[in-house]
Amino acid sequence: MTEPENLARALQRIRPDVRAMHAYVVQPAGGMLKMDAMENPFGLPPQLQAALGARLGALALNRYPGERLEDLKQALMQYAGAPAGSAIVLGNGSDELISLLALACAQAGAGQRAKLLAPMPGFVMYPMSAQLQGLDFVNVSLTADFELDEAAMLAAIAEHRPAITYLAYPNNPTATLWDEAVVQRVIDAVGAQGGIVVMDEAYQPFASRSWLARMQAEPARNAHVLLMRTLSKFGLAGVRLGYLIGPAALVGEIEKVRPPYNVSVLNCEAALFALEHAEVFAAQAAELRAARSELLAALRRMPGVLKVWDSEANMVLIRVADPAAAHAGMKARGVLVKNVAALHPLLAQCLRLTVGSSADNALMLAALEASI
pLDDT tens per residue, range 123-178: 999 999 999 999 999 999 999 999 999 999 999 999 999 999 999 999 999 999 99
Same fold across 5-43+279-371 and 64-276: no
Mean pLDDT of the chain: 95
Q: What is the pLDDT of residue 112?
A: 78
**Class for the domain spanning 5-43+279-371:** alpha beta
To the nearest 10°, report the CA torsion of 71, 75, 81, 82.
Answer: -30
Distance (Å, whole) CA 311 – CA 76: 26
Structural element, H or E, at residue 132: helix 125-133
DSSP codes of every residue in 68-113: HHHHHHHHHHHHHTPPTTEEEEEESHHHHHHHHHHHHH--EETTEE
* Beta carbons within 8 Å of 269's beta carbon, 6+ residues apart: 55, 56, 59, 68
Q: Which CATH architecture has domain 64-276?
A: 3-Layer(aba) Sandwich (3.40)
Reply yes or no on whether the pLDDT at 1 is more than 60.
no
* Cβ contact 227:245 at 8 Å: yes
Distance (Å, whole) CA 284 – CA 39: 12
Amino acid at 93: G
Reply yes or no on whether the pLDDT at 108 is more than 90.
no
* Cβ contact 282:42 at 8 Å: no
* Cβ contact 269:70 at 8 Å: no
Mean pLDDT over 230-249 rounds to 94
Tens digit of pLDDT for each residue in 323-355? 999 999 999 999 999 999 999 999 999 999 999
Reply yes or no on whether the pLDDT at 3 is more than 70.
yes
Is 111 or 73 the better-scoring residue by pLDDT? 73
Q: Which of 3-12, 33-42, 212-221, 245-254 has the lowest mean pLDDT?
A: 3-12
Question: In degrees rounded to 5, what are phi and psi of residue 49?
Answer: -60, -45
Segments making up each domain of the chain, as ranges: 5-43+279-371, 64-276
Q: Which of 13-17, 95-99, 192-196 has the lowest mean pLDDT?
A: 13-17
The pLDDT-based confidence of 107 (bands split at 50, 70, 90) is confident
The pLDDT-based confidence of 109 (bands split at 50, 70, 90) is low
Q: What is the pLDDT of residue 26?
A: 78
Tens digit of pLDDT for each residue in 17-42? 999 988 877 777 888 999 999 999 99
* Cβ contact 75:275 at 8 Å: yes
Ramachandran assignment for 185, one of left (phi > 0), alpha (psi -120 to 50 degrees), beta (any other): alpha
3-class DSSP assignment, residue 314: coil
* Beta carbons within 8 Å of 275's beta carbon, 6+ residues apart: 72, 75, 76, 79
Distance (Å, whole) CA 361 – CA 370: 14
Q: What is the pLDDT of residue 23?
A: 82
Q: What is the pLDDT of residue 116?
A: 98
3-class DSSP assignment, residue 20: coil
DSSP state of 27: P
Structural element, H or E, at residue 241: none
Of 285, 239, 288, whose CA–CA distance to 266 is shortest? 239
* Beta carbons within 8 Å of 6's beta carbon, 6+ residues apart: none
DSSP state of 2: P
Tens digit of pLDDT for each residue in 266-321? 999 999 999 999 999 999 999 999 999 999 999 999 999 999 999 999 999 999 99
Count CB atoms within 10 A of the CB of residue 29.
12
3-class DSSP assignment, residue 129: helix
Distance (Å, whole) CA 46 – CA 54: 13
Mean pLDDT over 244-250 rounds to 97
Of 93, 118, 115, 109, whose CA–CA distance to 174 is shortest? 118
The pLDDT-based confidence of 80 (bands split at 50, 70, 90) is very high
Distance (Å, whole) CA 140 – CA 27: 29
Count CB atoms within 10 A of the CB of residue 164.
25
Q: Which residue(s) pair with 168 in the sheet?
A: 200
Distance (Å, whole) CA 129 – CA 143: 24
Reply yes or no on whether the pLDDT at 208 is more than 70.
yes
